[in-house]
Homo-oligomer: A and B are copies of this chain.
Amino acid sequence: MDGCKRAGLPAIGLWREPVQETGVDATARMVADAGLRVSSLCRGGFLTAADPHERSNALDDNHRAIEEAAALGAHCLIMVVGGLPLGSLDLTGARARVTDGIAALAPHAEQCGVRLALEPMHPMYCADRGVLSTLGQTLDLAEKFPAEQVGVVVDSFHVWWDPDVLSQIARAAGRICSFQICDWITPLPADALLARGMMGDGHIDLAGLRQAVDAAGYRGDIEVEIFNADVWAADPDEVVATFIRRYVRHVLGD
């Protein structure tokens, strides 16, 4: 938060684990004192369990996450929907349980003024993290619900490769809860969960995606989200300064 404030950034995306360590109310005060907003709370989801007990626990946890997002003033809760249960090959079933889970959570989210932001994840995470694999598939699910209850995340890392990405971003008008950016770098780092690069270091046409999101009417925050061991090890103020420069050049620029 201090780094964001020093750099003049208006908002910060928060993750539940550090928020819970600090406490939700204390975090909300820190954000307000820093003059920041919470762009999103990450993350709810993990709704694919077939076991009734696990499923019930997951729903309870998501209800709490919705309330935490509301207490933090986050307009959306990012939903990483979960992968295949251990030993299961039933991808269709896992996807159906995600739909059921969202149906169970959406009314509570609306009551709390928080949108469930479904995040399609890169297909390389389909088995173990998120069975929503394309923006089109995610919109098929989101559109079963009112737009004030359920929206989508457009994360450059997850969707850039999709031949339909531009038309699906246009279709997502009114549903986009967050536009998240980083780059796809090659060779892919050894840890697939830390494979993201700084904007401009990779292969994604970020300006093209930004224009599409603009054209779809999105006026919310653009979140820089770079899971990368080297970025995490670098001086935070330098990282922020770098991504601001890179944002201007590679995301705003054409």
Q: Is A46 in contact with chain B by the CB < 8 A criterion?
A: no
Tell me the number of copies of this protein.
Answer: 2
Q: Is A18 in contact with chain B by the CB < 8 A criterion?
A: no
Residues of B within 8 A of A161 (CB): 91, 123, 126-127, 133
Known contacts A163-B137, A187-B192, A190-B190; A204 and B123 CB within 8 A of each other: no
DSSP class of A's interface residues: helix, strand, loop or mixed?
loop
Residues of B within 8 A of A192 (CB): 187-188, 192
Q: Is A171 in contact with chain B by the CB < 8 A criterion?
A: no
Q: Is the CB of B186 within 8 A of A127?
A: yes
Chain A: residues with Cβ within 8 Å of the partner, total of 31
Query: Closest CB-CB distance, A170 to chain B, in whole Å?
Result: 15
List 27 contacting pairs A-B, 8 Å CB cutoff, sorted by A. A88-B203, A89-B204, A89-B205, A89-B208, A90-B205, A91-B160, A91-B161, A95-B163, A122-B123, A122-B124, A123-B123, A123-B124, A123-B161, A124-B124, A126-B160, A126-B161, A126-B184, A127-B161, A127-B202, A127-B203, A128-B203, A133-B161, A133-B162, A137-B163, A187-B192, A190-B190, A190-B191
